[in-house]
Amino acid sequence: MIEYIKGDIADLTPTYVVIETNGIGYMINISLNSYSQLQGKTSAKIYVYEAIREDAHILYGFVEKAERELFILLISVSGVGAGTARMILSSLKVDELKQTIATGNANLLKSVKGIGAKTAQRIIVDLKDKIKVGDDTLIITASTNNENFEEALAALVMLGFPQQLASKALKKLFTQDSTLGVEDAIKKALKMM
């Protein structure tokens, strides 16, 4: 997994940034929040979420770790893909989205393009207990050991399992035991799927 990419900004649009580091240009999809924070800068450190699919490897980037953590939470919700999560993060600031979920404000979520009533309710129900308001940290998948979760998830996806199925199994495992190691998590998740 790539944690972050640091380098010169070679190209910046409202939907993506190209970060050049060591002669390689990485095209990273970003939200409008990240875009506004990057405007006028010549270099940046972008926290990355790597979506590995059968037909593509896509990088999603965030100026702040908190935004990436919210993105990971959003895509763990059934029916919310990476594009939808990016749309939500483009429409609402991190603190605003945390507040919206914590207070159960489905109407504000429905105002985001592509989010219907059912999806808004599902986001609130699935994430309400995982978000602390007024704190810079988010609880991700009930696990303090988020790196192990992400590593295990990436391994299962590379083995050919759908990301949502693997994520669901791992969330269940890490909820039961947040100290689970990567290898054990993968083995147990394989038995569950």
Distances (CA, A) of 157 to 44, 74, 81, 101, 152: 29, 18, 15, 28, 9
Q: Which CATH architecture has domain 4-62?
A: Beta Barrel (2.40)
Chain segment 65-77, per-residue pLDDT in tens = 989 999 999 998 9
| Architecture label for domain 146-192 | Orthogonal Bundle (1.10)
The pTM score is 0.68
Banded pLDDT at 10 (limits 50, 70, 90) = very high
Give me the residues paired with residue 49 across strands. 60
Domain ranges of the chain: 4-62, 65-130, 146-192
Topology of domain 65-130 in CATH is DNA polymerase; domain 1 (1.10.150)
Continuous H helices in the chain: 32-38, 65-75, 82-91, 94-103, 106-110, 117-127, 146-158, 163-176, 182-192
**What are 84-136's pLDDT values in tens digits?**
999 999 888 888 898 888 888 888 888 888 888 899 999 998 888 887 655 44
Q: How far is CA 107 from the centre of its chain?
A: 22
